């Protein structure tokens, strides 16, 4: 799931953030997923074990809402229509709800790997 990201670099530099913000808003609108009622995290493929575990950890209401959004988007896609403006996802409603859980699971997996790879050595008792 983790891919190289320039987000931290951009957010640390105010001038770069001011320059990139309109570009990112334009891109999100041009992508078209908001016009069929999806959020950005709805676009994450469910093929990896980490994402599947993150979906299981979602609160029931959020999981239900996600399935509803995906089904509605699929129906829009089949009928080649966009949702009415009042039902489209607004930019303030398009927040990350799955990505924080995915990052938490990846951190747990890294920590588990580090702990499993740890070698414990006993101290040898010195003869006095």
Cβ distance 124 to 19 under 8 Å? no
Structure tokens at 41: 């995290």
Q: Is the dihedral of CA 104, 110, 113, 118 positive or negative?
A: negative
Q: Is the pLDDT of residue 49 over 60?
A: yes
Sign of CA dihedral 110, 40, 67, 47: negative
What CA–CA distance (Å, rounded) separates 43 from 11? Answer: 23
Coil, helix or strand at residue 85: coil
Percent of the chain with pLDDT over 70: 95
Give the predicted TM-score (pTM) of the model.
Answer: 0.78
Query: What is the pLDDT at residue 2?
Result: 56
Q: What are 73-104's pLDDT values in tens digits?
A: 999 999 999 999 999 999 999 999 999 999 99
pLDDT for the residue 85: 94
Cβ atoms of 79 and 36 within 8 Å: the answer is no
Q: Which residue has the higher pLDDT, 2 or 32?
A: 32
- DSSP assigned state of 81: -
What are the CA-CA distances from residue 26 to residues 7, 30, 60 (Å)? 17, 6, 32
Of 96, 92, 98, 89, nearest to 33 by C-alpha is: 89
Q: Take residue 13 and report the two structure tokens written for it.
A: 């530099």
């Amino acid at each position: 799931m983790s891919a190289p990201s320039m987000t931290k670099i951009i957010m640390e530099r105010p001038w770069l953030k001011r320059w990139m913000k309109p570009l990112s808003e334009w891109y999100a609108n041009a992508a078209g997923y908001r016009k069929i009622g999806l959020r950005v995290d709805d676009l994450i493929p469910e093929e990896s074990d980490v994402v599947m575990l993150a979906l299981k950890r979602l609160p029931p209401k959020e999981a239900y809402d996600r399935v509803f959004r995906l089904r509605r988007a699929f129906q829009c896609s089949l009928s080649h229509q966009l949702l009415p403006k009042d039902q489209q996802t607004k930019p303030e409603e398009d927040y990350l709800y799955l990505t924080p859980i995915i990052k938490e699971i990846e951190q747990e997996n890294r920590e588990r790997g580090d702990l499993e790879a740890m070698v414990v050595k006993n101290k040898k008792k010195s003869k006095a």
